[in-house]
Amino acid sequence: MNQKSCSFPNEKELRVGQGERLSGGHSVSYDNNSALSAFRGIPISELKKHRILPALTAEANGWEPAVVSPELLRAQEEWEAVETIQPGTGCQAISEQPGQLISFSEALQHFQTVDLSSFKKRIQPTIRRTGLAALRHYLFGPPKLHQGLREERDLVLTIAQCGLDNQDPVHGRVLQTIYKKLTGSKFDCALHGDHWEDLGFQGANPATDLRGAGFLALLHLLYLVMDSKTLMMAQEILRLSRHHIQQFPFCLMSVNITRIAIQALREECLSRECNRQQKVIPVVNSFYAATFLHLAHIWRTEQKTISDSGFVLKDLEMLAKKSPRRLLKTLETYLAGVSKGQASMLGAQKYYGPQAPYSKDLTFTGVCDLQPHSSESTWLI
C-alpha cells in the first residue's frame, strides 16, 4: 500500500472547478470522467478517512456525476466493505455476524455473568424428607455434597428455572447451533417453525417443551452436539428416533432426560461422584449423556415404541438414581469405542431402516406426566 504523505481536501474543496488543486500539490481538473482517476493511486482507507470517497459516491454540494461508471460502483463497494474490516487483521469482523456457533463453555459463561437472582429464589436444592424417609436417608443414603460445590449445584438448578428468551442473542445462538449440528445445515433457521418439530419438539416453538427443565435442557443438547464423540452419539439416537416403527420425539425425550438429571442432583444421587471429581456441571452433563445413551440402548434392543415411553422413563429414572456410576462407566466405554472408530453399541446404521417423519399424532408420556414412584420424590413443574 502507498504510504507517502499527502493531505486531502474536505468536501467543500470537491466543488466542480477548473484547475483546483489538492493540498498535496496535485492539480485536478474535475470533469465527469476524470474526477475518479485523480484519486486512483490513493488508498481506499485514506479516502474514507478524509471523507473524500463519500463525496465522490454521492451528491456533494451540487456536484453529481453525469454517468455512474463501473469504477465508481466498485469504489463505492470497497468503501462500504471498509466498515466490516477489523483494523490490523484484514479479516471481516465476525463477532457481530449472525450464525456463529456457540460452545457450551461460552453459553455457560453467559449464565455465570448475568443476574439470575430472581430465578435462584425459586430453587429447592435438595429434596425435603421427613420421618422415616429422613432417617433412612441419613443412615443409608448418599453423602452430602461438599460445601464448596453447592454454589455450582445451585447454578445448575437456577439455569433449569430460566426459560428460553428469543430476544437474548445467546439463547438464539444456542438454538441455531443445536439445529445446525443435528441437521448438518450451514444456514440459520427461524426460531419458530415446523423444522423444530422435525427434530422432535412437540410444536413450532421449542420454549413450550422446556417445562421442568428450563434452559438447562437446551444446554444439555448443546453439550451433546458440540463434542465430536457425543455428537456421533446424538446423531445415532436421532436416527433411531426416526425409525418408521420405533420413532419418538428426539428433543422432547432429551428434555425428559434433563429432568431426570435434575432430580438425581436434588436427591443427592450424584453427590458422591461430584465430591470425587470436585465438580458438579461436568458430572451432571456426563450423567445426562449416559442416561440418554442407556435409554437409546433399551429402546433399540427391547423394541420399544412411543406407547412405552412413560414406563421406560420411569424405570430409567430408578436405575439412573440407583446406579449413576454404572451409567457413567457405560458412557466412558462407548466414547472410548467411538475414539477408536469401533462400531457403536447402538448397533450398525443399517438397523435403523426406513426413516419416517415425526407424526404429530404421537402420544408421548414424559416424566412430568407420571406419578412419583415414592413419597421421597417430588417433580419440578
**pLDDT tens-place string over residues 357-368:** 555 555 546 555
pLDDT tens string 263-303: 999 999 999 999 999 999 999 999 999 999 999 999 999 99
Q: Which amino acid is at 315?
A: D
308 is a domain residue: yes
170 is a domain residue: yes
Q: What pLDDT is stored for residue 341 in this prediction?
A: 77
C-alpha cell at 283: 458430572
The band of 136, judged by pLDDT with boundaries at 50, 70 and 90, is: confident
Quote the domain boundaries for residue 160: 104-340
200 is a domain residue: yes
Q: How many domains does the chain have?
A: 1
As a whole-number percent, the residues of the chain with pLDDT over 70 amount to 63
Q: Which residue has the cell 453529481?
A: 64
Q: What pLDDT is stored for residue 59 in this prediction?
A: 47
Cβ pair 252, 209 in contact under 8 A: yes
328 is a domain residue: yes
24 is a domain residue: no
7 is a domain residue: no
pTM value is: 0.68
Q: How far apart are CA 276 and CA 304, in angstroms?
A: 35
